[in-house]
Structure 1
Amino acid sequence: MTGPVVKVAAAAVEANTKRGGDIRVTLSPKTVGCSSGFGGRLTLAPGEYVTEHLHPYSEEFLHVVRGRLEMTLDDEPVQLTSGDSLLVPIGVRHRLVNTGTVPAEAVFHLSPLAPRPELGHIDTEQPLNAGAGNPDVGGAR
């Protein structure tokens, strides 16, 4: 290992609730100074969802830790459960909903980074909480 160990607790990071759910970006240029992508944790209550959006520069990797989720990719639903992983390709519209009866948890990673944080997401559905917390991944590119 060439640099210092940087550990980030999800509870120490501000929640992004703009698109729904509780999204915590734990590893990012803003939190740890990384330069190739960002990732974190997502929690959704039963019936809760993340509004549809796409990433024009990044692939998204989603790993379900607990619960039942449905990811809709360009209008095609994909059922996911604990232990499943899914790749969301660059430019694919996607929307995630908790279809189970218990809170669902997943971890995610997106890479490569967009040229600037504000270019990383394009909303294709009205965000649920437009005025809510929406911390970006920050940092220089």
Structure 2
Amino acid sequence: MTSTPVRKVGPADVAPNRRRGGDVRILLSPRTVGSTSGFGGSLTLEPGEYVCEHLHPYSEEFVYVVGGRLRIRIGEELVDLEAHDSVMVPKGVKHRMVNEGDERAQVIFHLAPLAPRPELGHVDTEFLPGRSDEPAPPVGGVR
């Protein structure tokens, strides 16, 4: 028996966020399911789309490509991923993702541990034109 209610969350249950590029959906988080150790979701990048460079000061990021291809720059290293490949981005390391292929890239990601406060969890080092004033995806909440 669990004290935390079990909740199924699908892409239609959360708003897409395009502030940093692509279609980011935070599916499992303190806000959506009451998680206490990390959060995860999905990313869809159409051909030519990218996620702006950023870093996570408190969290490692685990990236798994479900379909398509993805190029990720982690620090100064370029890593090409295709379906069923995965990679970990270490804490505090700048990274940027781009779909240089000709088909949609579908990605699952997970970050852990959580930052002490949601606003400390993500540091943007690049911005999409006209998108820097959009709110960040809701991740945190009362824990």
TM-score by length of 1: 0.94
Tell me the distance in 1 between the aligned counterparts of 2:137 and 2:86: 25
Cα distance between partner residues in 2 of 1:43 and 1:60:
16
Counterpart of 2:2? 2
Other-structure match for 1:23: 24
* 8 Å contact kept, 1:39–1:109: yes
Distance 1:133 1:122, change over 3 A: closer
User: Mapping of 1:1-141 within 5 angstroms?
Assistant: 1-3=1-3, 4-128=5-129, 129-132=131-134, 134-141=136-143
Identity of aligned residues (%): 60
Tell me the distance in 2 between the aligned counterparts of 1:113 and 1:96: 21
For 1:111, the aligned partner's letter is A
- What do residues 44-81 of structure 1 show as CA deviations (whole Å, max 9, x unaligned)? 00010000000000000000000111000112110000
8 Å CA contact retained: 2:6, 2:33: no
Opposite residue 112 of structure 1, the aligned amino acid is P
1:133–1:102: structure 2 CA closer, same or farther, 3 Å change rule?
Answer: farther
| Cα displacement (A) at 1:5 | 2.0
Tell me how far 1:11 sits from its aligned partner: 1.4
The code of the aligned residue for 2:95 comes to: H
Deviates more, 1:131-140 or 1:100-109: 131-140
* Structure 2 unaligned residues grouped into runs of 5+: none
Partner secondary structure for residue 118 of structure 1: helix
Cα distance in 2 for residues equivalent to 1:22 and 1:105: 10
Return the offset for 1:136: 2.1
TM-align CA RMSD: 1.3
State the TM-score, normalized to the length of structure 2. Answer: 0.93
How far apart are residue 133 of structure 1 and its match?
A: 5.1
- Matches of 1:113 and 1:93, distance apart in 2: 17
Amino acid at match of 2:136: N
Tell me the distance in 1 between the aligned counterparts of 2:107 and 2:39.
14
| Alpha-carbon distance in 2 for matches of 1:121, 1:135 | 10
Equivalent pairs counted in the alignment come to 141
